[in-house]
Each structure stands twice: as structure tokens, then as C-alpha cells.
Structure 1
């Protein structure tokens, strides 16, 4: 009698990933890294990070010959061609982590400064939070530093609904300078500033060990969500189970703790990026051990679901954004070729993953060459595609032009075939979509709308309107995709629209 041998073969089956429209590297002969990229009102893009180069695309580096870094801004057009660059800093090490565009077309950059010369004035310690406002061609309008006698390192800056800004990172200062309420080795540090860069309030959060904030967003009630990691189990932190835990803190609009939660087990967990979701919850992204980790949370940070992604080697998790189809997209870096990465084409290590609303992988893409390339920032674009930026160490594979040791890396992906480009309105009628100036909003039964809430793809509240709610002025919105939520008779309706 013959025996039949059955062999089970596991194959990852995913949708087709969008094609690369263009891939560009920028920089000089030394190190150039992009930490953040956004689409601008003119349809192009702006990115920020740091440079140690003094040649190539880099002009005006203040730390040439010093071995340090300048904050670097790159403005490119819709095809990736350079329109202008700006190096900001002094003879110390200065770098940017975030950039936002204002309604007037100007920009505000958040980062860290250790210089006390050149463009940087009044550094209080070994490193300070830095906020810089520049105009549409990169000229400095104002710059401010914040901190104490220790080290302050900024991780993130966001616009706020009062036209100011919120920043987060870490502080090692011991209750001096701008810092008060410090707890331990290093703390979460949150700084609220107005539209001129004046410090309005600050808050140190944590326990007796090390705690570092990685991201901050404004909540719909005007408060703030700050997330990162903690190694403490005292002070503001009520529990910590592993080598470090992800830690989320909800602050009131004036910086008082409303609630805090630790997430994790006996391993190592960190949140690097968090976004507000249309259901009033949050999507958090970071790492759990060696794997990328996505956690869907309710409004009070209870876990709805969580999933890890990657293979048996290291995955670096950097940034997550909402997508127009109700899903998510994240980026980072992977050294794996098994697990979720089995049979994924490409030899690069810079990594993009598209998820549906339940966290199931829809497609993923690896880009780069034989060296260690990273993606640090990703955002959907107005055409239904994506813009992603990071750093390229490679000079082969997908990286066809290399300027030096590390280059700014920017990639534009074509419109996503999974994107719901026709926008099936969910029981909410929106006229003039895409729109330029006005949106006419109606419920199915023409009920009175109590409130309209408009958020961008990062989850940030852009418009909250409680009067004349059927007609929304969108003239001052930047081009892009937005979520609209309308409340009527205790019912909530949601849809999406495009601002051209």
C-alpha cells in the first residue's frame, strides 16, 4: 500500500502594492537624514531632519569642520525636484524631528538644539527643545529654545487648535530653567507654546527611572495624548511589567494628568507614533520586542486589538498614518525575510505595510539596497498615493544615486489600488467633493446637525463647528484628504472628502 505524503506550504498572499512613481536621494558627502515629511499646500513636499554635510545639495551648514549637525529642511516639488534647502543651527549639534505647515503657508519646525551661536540663541543647557518658524522660502521668522541645565531632546511637534504648538520629548534637568516637576533619571517633557513661540506651560511626567515621550497629539476635547515608554513603576506611573512598557498619558488642555496607562507584558514595548481615529479612539504604533506592534485603543486607552508584524530578525517601527479607506499604513525598517516577510519581493530593508481597519496586512513593500536603509515618516497624498521619507545608506538596488555616507531618502508611491477613490458616503451627503471652498453637509433625513468635526489623516482636529453646520468653509484647509464626522440627534455619521 502506498503512503501519501502531504506537505503544507505557507504562502503570504497580499494585494498588489502601489508602484514607485519616483525615488530620490538628496544630500552631501557625509550624513543626511529625514525624520519627517508632509505634503504642502502647493502639492509638493517638505521634509526635515539633519545634515553633517557641507557640499552637494547642502548649503550653509554652520557646523562645517566641527563634526556636528545642522537642522536641515528640504522643499521639493510634486516630482521630487529640489526647490530650496535650508540649514539652521550653530556649531553644536542641532536637528529637526517634525515640521508642520500653517494656514499662511509658512512652517514651524520642532527639534533639538545644543548650539548657542549661529541661528540659535539662549540655549539653557546641553540640549534644548527648539521651535523655528520659517517662511515659504526658508527664511527664519523666529526661533525659540526651551529647557533647563540638563538635556532636553524633542521627539515631536504638532499644531494645536488655538494656533499654537505642543512639543514632547525628554528632560534630564532637575527643576531649573523652564523645567519643573521632574521625577527621575529622565522624564517625559511636554511644552505648550503659543503662535509666537512663547512658552505657555510645561509638564514633566514619569517616575524615578527613565521615561521618554515619543509622540503627542491633541484630543478632540482640547487635551493632549502623549505616548512613549517608561522604565518606572512609581511617581506618575502606576505599573510597569517588563524591561520597559509603552506608556500613554492623557493631559487636560492646561497640562494636568487626566489618566495614564501602561501597555505591555514582561517584554519590551514602546510607542513611537499615535493617531486619533474617527471613532474617537487611537491607533498606536511602536515595537514589542523585535516586532513592529500596532494597538487599536478606545478613547480611554483600553485595548480593542493588537497585532505584531515582521519576522525573526529586528523590525524598527517609526510612523503610522490613517488611510482614506479606513485602514492604516506604517513604515520603518526590517532585517527579516521570514514570517510576514516571506516571499516579499525586494532586497531592501526600508519597509512599508498597509493594514485594513482590523490590522490585517493588505500589502507591503521593501525598498532599498544591500545596506541598511530606513523609512521614518509616511503620509497619504492628495492623489491617493503615499509620500515616505527616511535615510539611505545603500548605493545599489533601488538606490540609483548616492551622494555620500547617508542620504535623505524620499519615495512617492502611486495611488493605492485599495483606496476607495469614489468615496461611498456612509449615510452622510456631502456636496462639492472634491471641494475648494465650501462643503454642503446633510444627513439622510435632513436632520439638524449639532456638530461637525473635521480631522486630517493624522487624527488632528482641524475644524469643530457647532453653528451653521450644514455649510463648512474649507478655504483655509491645506490640500489633502480629510475625515468629516457629524453628530445629529445622538447619532454619529462619518465620511471623507478631498480638499483641492
Structure 2
């Protein structure tokens, strides 16, 4: 009996020893990357191209050196989502290890766009490092760049070139009527651009295949040729108030428009209006004609709006906004209090495939939704605690949510301080993470610095939503970012609005507010 016990003990000891040998011999995956910037880093004594992948045993030490890069501040090495701020770091391998160099881009150039009145920047097309188009609402009458003013606020869509480290703006005619016309979004189409928004002008001469003025506030769309002349323009609406909030190009160069409507006649006749204000989506031809069987209102008896729509790889569409309804299209959807963040997936005929409402004890809105390489990403804000909101920082927080293609929520995270933050745009960046722009009024928690009142706030997230870096831009007055893009050189371009005339606003303020274009990095 004792011999059997002895042999069993020997066997167990051998297993333990063998297990230890296996652990010693086991090799772990090590991946070294960078925020979209570096082509290589020094690993040990050798230069390695990024991304660099290798294997290492437990206890192996990897020495990495971060180079200095003009236009960027080195923030540290992110090792399995733990930041080490040393430039030269020695990492001891204990498991599979993801190492990322975090660089925060500096403001390398900026330009204010405007005249003696008020301008707001809402549209941005990043065509290349040196070629951009901006979408601006303008009521100025004294600028050589803003050719003409039709009365009140007008659409102004100037192209810009970036040459010799300076922005060159091409003069462009402002478009609209004698009332107020507000731009909300701009996109590129073959031969020119399409911009959308809304107008209370009754005297815009609709052209091409467009529609006449319908009453109240109408949505408004205009196609401008590359030389700035009108290709077509049109009203979209009915006898109520109607707004267009976004425009994107689809396969085959149609357009997907989203907005809100208080109408059930004219362009919205037969679209299935549910309440006083519905969200709406429509497909438009490249000639400005609404496709008759592809117009639809979404919502219930409460207030519902759609702020963004984009086509997906399968030919359907993603829509997002907010809802206060619990009936109509939303009768079977569990909701919380106040306004809920609303996301919908519809098919090519605009039939709802799935939808969801998310929120907590207060209000939420989704300002943008994008299809990304491995699912869907949504950005907006939450002012809530509880239910779907796990970490409320205070006031309004930026809220970013990641979904699978079928609508299953993968993660949601809040970003901000104890005052208000909102996100208006999000993009997938070249490194597989995300860049978000909006504004912040905070000076604490996720926000390291505030220049005064509200600032343009840009945050960079990893693919899992981890906050890699954040940066504020602005002056002592109110500043906000509206759209963000990335160039082929991995710079970030932001357009928004400033009322500041100091600090980061070096090009000076022309009027009450100016559209503000920022170039970050390189």
C-alpha cells in the first residue's frame, strides 16, 4: 500500500514538474502597434516595421523605444490597456500581450471661415490630404469668399486646398432664399456635392427634377457642380415642418436622406406618419427626385427624429436618432424614460429588420451610426444613470455603443466629465479604432484641460472602446466640433464652429461665430 502511495506521489510530482516545463516553454503572442502614425519602432536593438508580431516565453523582456515625432505628443505605451508613460520601456512577458504606442496629435493648422455675421460648420468631405470641402451655414455679407447673400442664412459650400502648410479657400456663391436656410450635412457625388438641411424661404427657384415649396419649414437639398454652379435644388416637405439632417451616397449613386417631419401630405403623403413629429428616410436619385416607393416615416405618437442614415454592405440601411414613443413602430420595444437612443436596421425597401431603444433615467440621442469592419458603431450622448448606462460621469456624457451586424450590443461606454459633452461624429480609423468629435464643457475626469466654456473635444478609442487619448481645442468662448475625417497620411480633420478669438483660434474671428476647420498632426 505504501509503495502505491509512493508511486502516486512520484507521478504527481512528475506531472507538476512537466507542467512547469510546459509553462516555461509556452510561447505567448506579442503584438506591437501604434496610433495611426508610426511605420516602425526600435525593439531591442533592431528597427521593426509596424504592426510587429512575435512570440516570447514567460519572463522574456522586450525593450521598446518611442521615437520623437513632429506634430505629436507621446502619451505612453498602452500594455494590455494599462498606460506606461515612459518613452523607453522594458516589458516583462507574462501572457499574450498587446503593446500600442499612443501619440496625441497637436493642432498643426486651423482656419476660420466667415465674415461679419455668423457662420456654423456642419459639413465635411475629406478627399485627400490636400483637398477638402466644407459645408457652412452663413449670413455674412462682407466676405470676398462668400459670394452674395440671398437674405438671412444661406448654404455655403467652399472647397479648400492645403498647400505649403496653409489652407486656400475658393470663393463660392452662397445659395438659398430670402429667409433662413440651414445646412446640416454635405456629401460628394460624381461631378459635385450634395448638401441638405432646411429652409423657411419660399422663393428658392427649384430646378432640375425638384419640387416646389410646400409650407412651413421645408427640408432642402442642393447639388452643386465642381465649379460651384447649381446642378439642381429642391424642397422636400409638406404642410408641416420638415427637416433633413443627413445625406450619404449609396451604391449606384443614389442618396439616402434622413430627417424629421410634421407632414403627411405632399412629399410625405403615404409615408405612414404616426405622430406630430416622425423620423423619416428616403432614397433620392442623383438628379434630386425622391424615389416614390422608397419614402417612409418612422415613429409613434410621441416625438421621434432620425439624425443619420447610411447604406450597409448588404444593401440595407442603418438609421439612428431618438424616440419618445412606445406605440406605432415602437409598440413592442422596451423603453426607459425621456428620450431614448434609437437605432434601426432597414432593408433595401426601408422595411424595419430590427431596432432598439437604449437609455436610462433621463435623455439619450444617437447623432451618428456607421458600419465598420466588424459591426456597427453609434455615437451621441446620454444624461442618464441606470438601465443601459453603466458609468455616468455627470451632465451629458458622450455615449459610444458597438453592435454586431444583427443588432446585438457588444459594448457601450461613456466619456466626459461632470459637465456636458456630446458626440456628433465618429469614424473608424486606420488602426481599427475610432475617432470621435463633439464638444466638452468639463475640466475633470476624462477631460484633462478646458480652454474656456465649451471646447472642441476629440477622443481616440481603441477597438474595444478604451480611451487611448483625448484633446481639447478652442478659446475662451464656445467651440464645438461637428464632423471628423482622416486623411491618407492619418491626420485628423475636424470642422465645427467657434465664437472664440484667442488661444487655439489663431486665424482670428471674423464675426459673431465662424466655421472652424482644424488639422491635427503632421
TM-score category, normalised to shorter length: 0.7 to 0.9
Quick check: 1:190 aligned with 2:284? no
Preserved CA contact (<8 Å) 2:441 2:450: no
Preserved CA contact (<8 Å) 1:345 1:365: no
Identify the residue that residue 296 of structure 1 maps to in structure 2: 402
Preserved CA contact (<8 Å) 1:273 1:285: yes
Identify the residue that residue 106 of structure 2 maps to in structure 1: 19
Quick check: 1:149 aligned with 2:235? no
Identify the residue that residue 153 of structure 2 maps to in structure 1: 69
Give me the whole-angstrom Cα distance separating, in 1, the residues matched to 2:103 and 2:235.
46
Quick check: 1:403 aligned with 2:517? no
Shift of 1:145: 1.8
Identify the residue that residue 497 of structure 1 maps to in structure 2: none
Identify the residue that residue 475 of structure 1 maps to in structure 2: none
Preserved CA contact (<8 Å) 2:123 2:483: yes
Identify the residue that residue 248 of structure 1 maps to in structure 2: 343
Shift of 1:146: 1.5
SS of the aligned residue for 2:503 comes to coil
Identify the residue that residue 368 of structure 2 maps to in structure 1: 273
Residues 141 and 247 from structure 1, CA distance in 2 versus in 1: closer, same or farther, beyond 3 angstroms? same
Identify the residue that residue 113 of structure 1 maps to in structure 2: 199
Identify the residue that residue 484 of structure 2 maps to in structure 1: 378
Preserved CA contact (<8 Å) 1:248 1:262: yes
Residues 154 and 394 from structure 1, CA distance in 2 versus in 1: closer, same or farther, beyond 3 angstroms? same
Shift of 1:162: 2.0
Deviation string 1:177-215 (CA, Å, 9 cap, x unpaired) is 434311112000111111211110210000001000011
SS of the aligned residue for 1:80 comes to strand
Identify the residue that residue 411 of structure 2 maps to in structure 1: 305
Which aligned pairs between 1:219-234 and structure 2 lie closer than 5 A? Answer: 219-234=312-327
Deviation string 1:197-240 (CA, Å, 9 cap, x unpaired) is 11102100000010000110101111111100000011101232
Give me the whole-angstrom Cα distance separating, in 2, the residues matched to 1:158 and 1:221.
16
Identify the residue that residue 164 of structure 1 maps to in structure 2: 254
TM-align CA RMSD: 1.9
Preserved CA contact (<8 Å) 2:307 2:320: yes
Shift of 1:346: 4.9
Preserved CA contact (<8 Å) 2:442 2:450: no
Aligned residues: 398
Identify the residue that residue 83 of structure 1 maps to in structure 2: 170
Deviation string 1:395-428 (CA, Å, 9 cap, x unpaired) is 111112110100010011125xxxxxxxxxxxxx
SS of the aligned residue for 1:411 comes to strand
Identify the residue that residue 263 of structure 2 maps to in structure 1: 173
1:264 to 356, 359, 365: 359
Preserved CA contact (<8 Å) 2:112 2:515: yes
Give me the whole-angstrom Cα distance separating, in 1, the residues matched to 2:496 and 2:160.
15
Shift of 1:38: 1.3
Quick check: 1:353 aligned with 2:353? no
Preserved CA contact (<8 Å) 2:214 2:266: no
Identify the residue that residue 212 of structure 1 maps to in structure 2: 305
Q: Greater CA radius of gyration, 1 or 2?
A: 2
Shift of 1:176: 4.3
Preserved CA contact (<8 Å) 1:189 1:205: yes
Identify the residue that residue 132 of structure 2 maps to in structure 1: 45
Preserved CA contact (<8 Å) 2:147 2:173: yes
Give me the whole-angstrom Cα distance separating, in 2, the residues matched to 1:345 and 1:94.
32
Identify the residue that residue 215 of structure 2 maps to in structure 1: 125
Give me the whole-angstrom Cα distance separating, in 2, the residues matched to 1:185 and 1:244.
15
Unmatched tracts of structure 2, length 5 or more: 1-82, 86-100, 384-395
Give me the whole-angstrom Cα distance separating, in 1, the residues matched to 2:106 and 2:170.
25
Give me the whole-angstrom Cα distance separating, in 1, the residues matched to 2:84 and 2:420.
19
Preserved CA contact (<8 Å) 1:175 1:181: no
Identify the residue that residue 391 of structure 1 maps to in structure 2: 497
Shift of 1:52: 1.5
Deviation string 1:66-106 (CA, Å, 9 cap, x unpaired) is xx21111121112321123231100111122221222x342
Identify the residue that residue 520 of structure 2 maps to in structure 1: 413
Preserved CA contact (<8 Å) 1:230 1:240: no
Give me the whole-angstrom Cα distance separating, in 2, the residues matched to 1:219 and 1:334.
31
Preserved CA contact (<8 Å) 1:62 1:118: no
Preserved CA contact (<8 Å) 1:175 1:182: no
Give me the whole-angstrom Cα distance separating, in 2, the residues matched to 1:51 and 1:250.
34
If the length of structure 2 is used for normalisation, what is the TM-score? 0.73
Give me the whole-angstrom Cα distance separating, in 1, the residues matched to 2:430 and 2:487.
10
More helix by share: 2
Give me the whole-angstrom Cα distance separating, in 2, the residues matched to 1:54 and 1:84.
13
1:58 to 139, 146, 149: 146
